[in-house]
Structures are given as structure tokens and as C-alpha cells.
Amino acid sequence: MIPYGRQSIDESDIAAVVAVLQSDFLTQGPVLPAFEQAFAQRVKVPYAVASNSATSALHLAYLALGVGPGDTVWTSPNTFVATANAALYCGAEVDFVDIDPHSYNLSADALAQKLAQAEQQGRLPKVVTPVHFAGQPCDMAAIGELSRRYGFAVVEDASHAVGADYQNTPVGCCQYSDITVFSFHPVKIMTTAEGGLATTKQAELAQRMMQLRSHGIVREPEHLLSPSPGGWYYEQQSLGFNYRMTELQAALGLSQLTRLDDFLAQRRRLAARYDVELEGLPLVRPWQSPEGRSSYHLYPVQLPDSIDRAEVFAQLRAAGIGVQIHYIPVHTQPFYRQRGFKPGDFPVAEHYYQGAISLPLYADLTPQDQDSVVLQLKQLLAGR
């Protein structure tokens, strides 16, 4: 089976992890801060806080911004459930903003309309979390403008967008947001097996996320509430978690970071090849915003209503092509229906979902494998 996504691990990655195994620290050593620093430098931001998943990074981000009971977080229905779930972990409510039919990202126009209504009802969100779906940057300038006007914070879910650019700046530099969150799950652009990372320009937010990542414990003398009685002393100042990334993961991340430009070049080359090869077929290829450059975590195509997506999906899978669907709109999940959402609430995301199929795309996808994906699609869709 050709999967829809997978990691690329080479000898240098393996050597980096083995070196940590032979070192003094398997966790809480020097490699993690080195990885954080290198990542921060890469996306041109002062602070990076790594964690054991993007889900935990989202949780830390929301907590650092003070999200709690009585607050609402708005996000896109076209995302992985974790984006919304992390707000519920904080005791907050979740609501959604429908997507743009071309970018499949949270629509800034729909957001503006919903905000105007919410202001009248006194129900403005505490945080809005746009998701850079497939690696395609959201309309951050418009979202940033709305955040200033209505006073909400912005968390970018950039789980798909490691290495993407927006207005010639790296996603993660937080030009229009408070915090940006990345995922290093193996299907994503680069991997630490499991892992995530949050970037910010605000020292205080970085400090809070670092504290909450490790039980709410503080050791730095300048941040203690009482004078230190000795070298053993620490204070638990808040209720945190164990969301730490290990040294093994950080070493893999540091090594993968040196390969990131290759990964991106490969993904963009393969995406451009799909763009050419799929021309003329009855499907919509991914749209590229003129304001950005996608990292191409996914290559989602949209089939027209006249074609049975389930049948195409099943036949591709039967032919050994591991296509996947991104995403079942979060508000239609049983858990979210129990919370009052229903089909029809966010029609653009639901319509997109009906026709969506993500084709295999990853750095090590061979041209031969890509050709067989294209061939199968052509045979299935020819004459439709």
C-alpha cells in the first residue's frame, strides 16, 4: 500500500538518536533547548516551547492565554479533532467558523460576520484558532485585523504548515498571532515520532507554557515566590502537566530540521507534478494563495457531486493506494453533536468533505509510485 503520508528517516537521523541513547540525559538534557532554539531561529521568532504532541502544545497555548470556564474558542470545522478538544480540556466552550470554498481554511469573511453578531450578543470568543489546512496559510492579515478590533487572541494551528510561508515570512513568526503550534507526528512535514512545539514573540506566554509543560514547577531563582533555602528547592506555582519532549525526540527533531528544506522541495515538486498530471480530470486541484507558499502536508483533491467519492476511495484503496479523507467536519462527530452541533451548521466544510480525497504525498514518494496513483485516478475518472 502506498500510504497518504509517512516519515523520512535517514542514517543521520538514526545516528542523532543513538548518540542521545549513549549520553547522560534521555530527558531534560541539553538537546531539547538546542532543538527549540534552532526551530525558533528557522521561523524567525524569539521563543519556542516543545512538547510531547501538538495536542499538548495546543492545550498549553490555550492555558497560557488564560482560556478557562466561561470562555469560548472558535476554530475551523475542517481540522483534526485535537484543535477543538484542547479548548474543552480547559473547561472552555468551542464554536466553529465555516471555511472558504477555495482555500478550505477558516473564512475571514465568515469570521467577520460571526464576530459582528457575537458582539451584539456579548459572546465574543477569547481565542480564534485558524488552521493552515494542508499547509496552505490562512488569511492571517485579515484575521489579525479582526483580532485587534474585537480583542481576541489568535493561536495558529500550523500542524500542517512546518516550512510554509505567508507574505514572505515563515509561518510560526507570529506576525498576526499570539502563539503558533506545530506537530511532528510521523505523517507531518518533519517528525519527532510524537511531538509538538509552540512559538511566540511574548516572553510571558513562553514562560507560562514552559512552566505548565512540567507540572507548574519553577526552579529559576528569579521566578521563585519565596527565597530559596538551597539548591534542591523548587516551587509548584500552578497546576501543570508532564507534557515534556524527550531528548531522543528532540535529537530526531534537530536532525530532521536540517533536512526540512529537502522535504519541502520534494513535497512541492511532487505537488506541482500532480498539478500537471491531473489537469483535465473532473476534480478540483488544491488552490495556492498568492500571498503564501504551502508546505504541502496534504494534496487534497475535490471530486464533483456527480462522482461517488466513496466508490473512488474504495477502488483506490483496493488498488493499493492509501488515500485518506481530511477532514470529517469536527462538529458532525458524535461527541460534538452531543454538545449541540448538527449537520448543516457549517455547510461549506460539509460540502467540501463530501468530495474530498487526499492523495499520497510525502518526501520519499517515488515518481513511479506517484505515476501509479495518477494512472489509477485517470482510469477511474476517465469519461465521467
Ligand X SMILES: *Cc1c(COP(=O)(O)O)cnc(C)c1O
Q: Which residues of the shown chain bind ligand X in the complex (CB under 6 A)?
A: 53-55, 79-80, 82-83, 131, 157, 159-160, 183, 185, 196
Task: Provide, rounded to whole angstroms, the least separation between the CB of residue 175 and ligand X.
Answer: 20
Task: Provide, rounded to whole angstroms, the least separation between the CB of residue 131 and ligand X.
Answer: 5
| Nearer to ligand X among residue 19 and residue 187 (C-beta) | 187
| Nearer to ligand X among residue 54 and residue 164 (C-beta) | 54
| Nearer to ligand X among residue 82 and residue 127 (C-beta) | 82
Q: Whole-angstrom Cα distance, residue 51 to residue 31?
A: 13
Task: Provide, rounded to whole angstroms, the least separation between the CB of residue 293 and ligand X.
Answer: 18
Task: Provide, rounded to whole angstroms, the least separation between the CB of residue 187 and ligand X.
Answer: 7
Task: Provide, rounded to whole angstroms, the least separation between the CB of residue 82 and ligand X.
Answer: 4
Preceding omega of 47 cis (within 30 degrees of 0): no
| Nearer to ligand X among residue 185 and residue 244 (C-beta) | 185
| Nearer to ligand X among residue 278 and residue 356 (C-beta) | 356
| Nearer to ligand X among residue 74 and residue 80 (C-beta) | 80
| Nearer to ligand X among residue 244 and residue 312 (C-beta) | 244
- Residue 11: CB atoms within 10 A of its CB come to 8
| Nearer to ligand X among residue 159 and residue 180 (C-beta) | 159
Q: Whole-angstrom Cα distance, residue 237 to residue 219?
A: 10
Task: Provide, rounded to whole angstroms, the least separation between the CB of residue 35 and ligand X.
Answer: 15
Task: Answer for the pair 106, 100: CB distance below 8 angstroms, yes or no.
Answer: yes
| Nearest in space to 274 (alpha carbons), one of 359, 194, 210 | 359
Task: Provide, rounded to whole angstroms, the least separation between the CB of residue 196 and ligand X.
Answer: 5
Position of cell 514573540? Answer: 201
| Nearer to ligand X among residue 71 and residue 157 (C-beta) | 157
Task: Answer for the pair 138, 130: CB distance below 8 angstroms, yes or no.
Answer: yes
- Determine if residue 102 is left, alpha or beta; phi over 0 gives left, psi from -120 to 50 gives alpha, anything else beta: alpha
Pairing outcome for strands 356-359 and 299-302 = antiparallel
Task: Provide, rounded to whole angstroms, the least separation between the CB of residue 74 and ligand X.
Answer: 15
Q: Burial code of 115-143, b = ≥16 C-beta within 10 A, e = fewer?
A: beebeeeeebbbbbbbbbbbbbbbbbebb
Kindly report the CA angle at 324 between 321 and 326, in degrees rounded to 5? Answer: 155
Task: Provide, rounded to whole angstroms, the least separation between the CB of residue 133 and ligand X.
Answer: 7
How far from 330 is each of 34, 75, 84, CA to CA, in Å?
A: 36, 10, 8
